[in-house]
Amino acid sequence: MLDTNGAQARDVVVRLEGVHKKFGQTEVLRGVDMEVGRGEVVAIIGRSGSGKSTALRCIDLLETIDSGTIAVCSHRVDDPDVDRKSLRLDIGIVFQSYNLFPHLTIEENVMLAPTAVKKLSKQDARELARRVLGQVGLLEKATQYPEQLSGGQQQRVAIARSLAMEPKVMLFDEVTSALDPQLTGEVLRVIEDLARKGMTMIMVTHEMNFARRVADTIIFMHEGKVWEKGSADMLNDPQTPELKEFLQNEL
Q: Give the pLDDT confidence of 63-101 residue by residue, as tens digits.
A: 999 999 999 998 999 999 999 889 989 999 998 888 899
**φ and ψ at residue 151, rounded to 5 degrees:** -60, -40
Q: Is the pLDDT of residue 220 over 80?
A: yes
Provide the greatest CA pair distance for the chain.
Answer: 56
Average of per-residue pLDDT values in the chain: 91
The pTM score is 0.90
Q: Return the SS3 of 157.
A: helix
Q: Please give the CATH topology (third level) of the domain spanning 10-250.
A: Rossmann fold (3.40.50)
Facing residues of 94 across strands?
172
Q: Which residues contact 244 (CB under 8 A, 6 or more apart)?
A: 238
Q: Is the pLDDT of residue 243 over 50?
A: yes
Is the pLDDT at 7 greater than 70? The verdict is no
Query: How many CB atoms neighbour CB 93 within 10 A?
Result: 20
Question: In terms of DSSP H, where are the helices of the chain?
Answer: 52-59, 84-90, 106-116, 122-135, 151-163, 181-196, 208-214, 241-250
Closest CA to 221 of 35, 66, 55, 93: 55
Percent of the chain whose pLDDT exceeds 90: 78
In this structure, the strands spanning 41-45 and 217-222 are parallel
Q: Residue 51: is its pLDDT beyond 50?
A: yes
Q: Helix, strand, or coil here: 137?
A: coil
pLDDT bracket for residue 10 (50, 70, 90): low
Q: Which helix (H) or strand (E) holds 214?
A: helix 208-214
9-13, 26-30, 72-76, 146-150: lowest mean pLDDT where?
Answer: 9-13
